[in-house]
């Protein structure tokens, strides 16, 4: 049985056997990852197996995967690793006391333990650990520095900003990326200013890192630099800016969403093809509902003369399983209007597509349609679908009112 099959069946025992008996580092590494996904803190056998591998395996990547697995299972599992390596039992206590023990482990000679300690400190979220973590940003192991950046981002304390800014020039690209994301998450003026300055770099990779990170900021202050990046000469930077704009809307607190939406629409008004294409691709290909919803909404606000591909993707989105994506697509099609949209929607409502999608199409035709739509929609008042019939009667009334 494959690792995938074992994980799908929740067979932790089978995965443990593969982990402890396989001669293949790749198999052991993947087994660690899957055990982290399916196990919980009550699964003592799995925790014990991962602790053993984290300490004894002769391959660094496998040891690191075991630490990751313990980290996914929870803080208690990481505490067991700490206890195993230090030989000291970890007693229960307040978060600050646990944080103090993990902070001490950041000085361990064992990189995997330092990684685990950093991850655990981030999850505990205790601000007393910030000083120890910022000191650990100079660790000689880049994987440890990555974990420390992640932890500081999770804690989100402003005192970490200067040390994180220093990591923006780290020799490891991954460390630079995680430091940038942590700064964006913390979101102080100093942190965002450092990321905005990165957008002026001559290095494509640095601008891309900054564009990616700014999407985590949750403030309208980053809209302008992201909008400016949409004309960047580098394709990867432009794409990162588009994703960040949509991510910004996905993560922003509800009370700020209207402010940021208005700011973005103002910045992206009459966007060119280089801006629109990545948004169309997100709507067509993304598996994240919030991204697709925002992409569907934006296309109707920033596209004045869409190409056929944009219209087709919006029409296809009417068939989305996610009701909000479908509704936003309908709203955008109504905003765009025109003969090209009308033609695509007439084809949809006359097809054997799902009733929900056809009903949305009829709704939009009622808003934008002309004489062609009137004849088609009138015929749909006898449709087999009650939902389509209801929309058709309403659309007929609107269409007649405009004639």
Higher pLDDT, 97 or 163: 163
Examine the pLDDT at 169 and tell me if it is beyond 70: yes
pLDDT of residue 267: 74
The answer to whether residue 25 is domain-embedded is yes
Q: How far apart are CA 106 and CA 112, in angstroms?
A: 10
Last residue of a domain, one of 47, 73, 99: 73
Q: Of 17-21, 112-116, 125-129, 148-152, where does mean pLDDT reach its minimum?
A: 112-116
Higher pLDDT, 333 or 97: 333
Examine the pLDDT at 345 and tell me if it is beyond 90: yes
Range of the domain at 22: 1-73
Each residue's pLDDT tens digit, 229-283: 888 889 889 888 888 888 887 766 666 667 777 777 777 776 677 678 888 988 9
pLDDT of residue 270: 62
Provide the terminal-to-terminal Cα distance of the chain, rounded to the nearest Å: 67
Examine the pLDDT at 183 and tell me if it is beyond 60: yes
Q: What mean pLDDT is predicted for residues 306-325?
A: 93
Contact call for residues 314 and 330 (beta carbons, < 8 A): no
Q: Which residues of 146-165 are buried (b: 16+ CB within 10 A; e: fewer)?
A: bbbbbbbbebbbeebbebbb
pLDDT of residue 25: 93
The answer to whether residue 185 is domain-embedded is no
Examine the pLDDT at 92 and tell me if it is beyond 60: no
The answer to whether residue 383 is domain-embedded is yes
Last residue of a domain, one of 73, 105, 124: 73
pLDDT of residue 403: 56
Q: How far is CA 196 from CA 133, 199, 217, 224, 267, in A?
A: 25, 5, 11, 10, 17
The answer to whether residue 40 is domain-embedded is yes
Q: What mean pLDDT is predicted for residues 38-46?
A: 89
Average pLDDT, the chain: 87
pLDDT of residue 24: 93
The answer to whether residue 330 is domain-embedded is no
Q: How far apart are CA 88 and CA 71, in angstroms?
A: 19
**How many percent of the chain have pLDDT more than 70?**
94
Q: What mean pLDDT is predicted for residues 118-125?
A: 86
Q: What mean pLDDT is predicted for residues 18-23?
A: 91
Q: What mean pLDDT is predicted for residues 20-36?
A: 92
Examine the pLDDT at 401 and tell me if it is beyond 80: no
Last residue of a domain, one of 52, 73, 94: 73
Examine the pLDDT at 139 and tell me if it is beyond 70: yes
Domain containing 28 — which CATH number? 1.25.10
Confidence of residue 23 (pLDDT cuts 50, 70, 90): very high
The answer to whether residue 180 is domain-embedded is no
Q: What mean pLDDT is predicted for residues 153-165?
A: 95
pLDDT of residue 97: 72
Q: How many domains does the chain have?
A: 2
pLDDT of residue 296: 92
Q: How far is CA 280 from CA 125, 225, 243, 296, in A?
A: 38, 21, 11, 8
Examine the pLDDT at 129 and tell me if it is beyond 70: yes
The answer to whether residue 170 is domain-embedded is no
**How many percent of the chain have pLDDT more than 90?**
45
Q: Of 9-13, 17-21, 219-223, where does mean pLDDT reach its minimum?
A: 219-223
Confidence of residue 340 (pLDDT cuts 50, 70, 90): very high
Confidence of residue 28 (pLDDT cuts 50, 70, 90): very high
pLDDT of residue 330: 95
How would you classify residue 338: left for phi > 0, otherwise alpha for psi between -120 and 50, otherwise beta? left
pLDDT of residue 135: 95
pLDDT of residue 256: 67
Q: How far apart are CA 131 and CA 152, in angstroms?
A: 10
The answer to whether residue 69 is domain-embedded is yes
């Amino acid at each position: 049985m494959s690792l995938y099959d074992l994980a799908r069946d929740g067979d932790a025992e089978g995965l443990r056997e593969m982990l402890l008996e396989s001669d293949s580092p790749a198999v052991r590494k993947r087994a660690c990852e899957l055990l982290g996904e399916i196990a919980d803190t009550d699964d003592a056998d799995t925790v014990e197996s991962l602790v053993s591998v984290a300490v004894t395996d002769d391959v660094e990547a496998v040891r690191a995967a075991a630490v990751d697995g313990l980290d996914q299972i929870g803080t208690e599992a990481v505490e067991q690793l700490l206890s195993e390596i230090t030989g000291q039992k970890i007693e229960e206590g307040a978060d600050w006391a646990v944080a103090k023990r993990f902070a001490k482990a950041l000085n361990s000679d064992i990189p995997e333990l330092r990684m685990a300690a950093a991850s655990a400190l981030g999850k505990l979220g205790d601000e007393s650990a910030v000083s120890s973590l910022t000191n650990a940003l100079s660790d000689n192991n880049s994987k440890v520095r990555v974990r420390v950046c992640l932890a500081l981002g999770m804690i989100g304390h402003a005192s970490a900003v200067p040390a994180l800014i220093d990591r923006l020039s780290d020799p490891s690209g991954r460390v630079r990326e995680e430091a940038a994301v942590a700064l964006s998450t913390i979101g102080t003026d100093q942190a965002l200013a450092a990321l905005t300055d990165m957008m002026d770099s001559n290095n494509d990779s640095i601008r891309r890192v900054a564009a990616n990170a700014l999407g985590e900021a949750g403030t309208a202050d980053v809209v302008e630099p992201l909008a400016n990046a949409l004309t960047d000469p580098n394709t990867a930077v432009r794409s990162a800016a588009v994703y960040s704009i949509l991510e910004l809307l996905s993560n922003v607190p509800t009370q700020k969403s209207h402010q940021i939406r208005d700011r973005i629409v103002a910045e992206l008004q009459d966007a060119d093809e280089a801006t629109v294409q990545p948004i169309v691709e997100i709507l067509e290909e993304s598996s994240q509902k919030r991204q697709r919803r925002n992409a569907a909404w934006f296309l109707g606000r920033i596209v004045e003369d869409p190409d056929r591909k944009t219209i087709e993707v919006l029409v296809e989105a009417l068939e989305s399983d996610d009701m909000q994506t479908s509704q936003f697509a309908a709203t955008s099609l109504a905003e765009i209007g025109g003969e090209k949209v009308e033609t695509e929607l007439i084809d949809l409502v006359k097809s054997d597509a799902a009733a929900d999608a056809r009903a949305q199409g009829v709704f939009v035709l009622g808003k934008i349609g002309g004489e062609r739509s009137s004849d088609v929609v009138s015929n749909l008042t006898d449709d087999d679908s009650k939902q389509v019939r209801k929309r058709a009667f309403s659309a007929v009334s609107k269409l007649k009112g405009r004639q």
